[in-house]
């Protein structure tokens, strides 16, 4: 596969022992205070935090940085048709510190684009298919000077990053719980690969455990 110039992507997630990142009702309260601090520390080192539309609709996150001194960062939302509410926290909460970029497609309605732009949201169109063309998006973001992205889910966006081999590193916090449920979102959703030999391969580079939680760091071996 041809190498593209792209930001360094770290996938960060908290999951249960059975690989779920939210319950079947969308409850994603998996992290404790210690873990949140670690995630926020990681956010201070990144140029941008990225999530999919599903995460905005379910959690309405601020995607801000607490606990540590920081210089702000971009918030990036992947939303093919520009359907997130215009009063979402990523739009209204401290936009001067965390400028928001929404990555959409050519299908996004112009009137909606104008409404978001009126709130100083940068709109990037990437692709004309059903979903945002992530490979092309990586090139655009790289040209904008974004060198690092913390990918914070959810499961469907994670799958697309895995599928297109766009993940450089993974930081995984495993809570000692099992939630179950076929409708509970897993770390990686999507169609998946047919055979194990197609699986993206990673190298375990760090293991840390405390209070029954395990934190794992992997780097990619699939490039």
58 touches ligand NAP by CB under 6 A: yes
Closest distance between ligand NAP and the C-beta of residue 177, in Å? 12
- Please, are residues 39 and 10 in contact by the beta-carbon 8 Å criterion? no
Q: Can you tell me the distance from the alpha carbon of 14 to that of 27, in angstroms, rounded to the nearest whole number?
A: 12
What is the distance of C-alpha 69 from the center of its chain?
22
Contacting ligand NAP within 105-164 (CB under 6 A): 131-132, 134, 152-157, 160
Exactly one of 9, 11, 13, 166 binds ligand NAP (CB under 6 A); that residue is 13
Neighbours of 105 (CB within 10 A): 19
Number of residues that bind ligand NAP (CB under 6 A): 31
Closest distance between ligand NAP and the C-beta of residue 9, in Å? 14
Assigned token pair, 77: 């939302």
Query: Which of 22, 170 has the CB closer to ligand NAP?
Result: 22
Exactly one of 26, 72, 95, 99 binds ligand NAP (CB under 6 A); that residue is 26
Query: Which of 23, 148 has the CB closer to ligand NAP?
Result: 23
Closest distance between ligand NAP and the C-beta of residue 119, in Å? 19
Query: Which of 26, 95 has the CB closer to ligand NAP?
Result: 26
Q: Which residue has the tokens 């215009």?
A: 86
Binding site for ligand NAP (CB under 6 A): 13-14, 21-22, 26, 28, 30, 51-55, 58-59, 78-81, 83, 131-132, 134, 152-157, 160, 185, 189
């Amino acid at each position: 596969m041809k190498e593209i110039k792209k930001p360094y992507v770290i996938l960060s997630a908290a999951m249960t022992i059975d690989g779920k990142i939210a319950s079947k009702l969308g409850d994603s309260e998996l992290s404790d205070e210690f873990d949140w601090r670690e995630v926020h520390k990681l956010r201070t080192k990144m140029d941008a935090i990225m999530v999919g539309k599903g995460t905005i609709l379910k959690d309405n996150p601020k995607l801000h940085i607490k606990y540590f001194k920081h210089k702000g960062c971009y918030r990036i939302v992947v939303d093919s048709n520009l359907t997130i509410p215009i009063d979402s926290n990523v739009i209204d909460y401290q936009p001067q510190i965390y400028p928001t970029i929404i990555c959409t497609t050519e299908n996004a309605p112009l009137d909606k684009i104008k409404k978001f732009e009126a709130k100083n949201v940068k709109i990037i169109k990437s692709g004309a298919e059903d979903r945002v063309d992530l490979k092309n998006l990586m090139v655009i973001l790289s040209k904008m000077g974004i060198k690092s992205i913390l990918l914070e889910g959810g499961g469907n966006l994670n799958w697309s990053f895995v599928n297109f081999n766009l993940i450089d590193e993974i930081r995984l916090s495993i809570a000692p719980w099992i939630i179950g449920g076929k409708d509970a979102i897993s770390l990686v959703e999507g169609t998946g690969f047919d055979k194990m030999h197609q699986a993206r391969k990673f190298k375990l580079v760090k293991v840390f455990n405390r209070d029954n939680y395990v934190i794992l760091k992997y780097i990619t071996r699939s490039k």
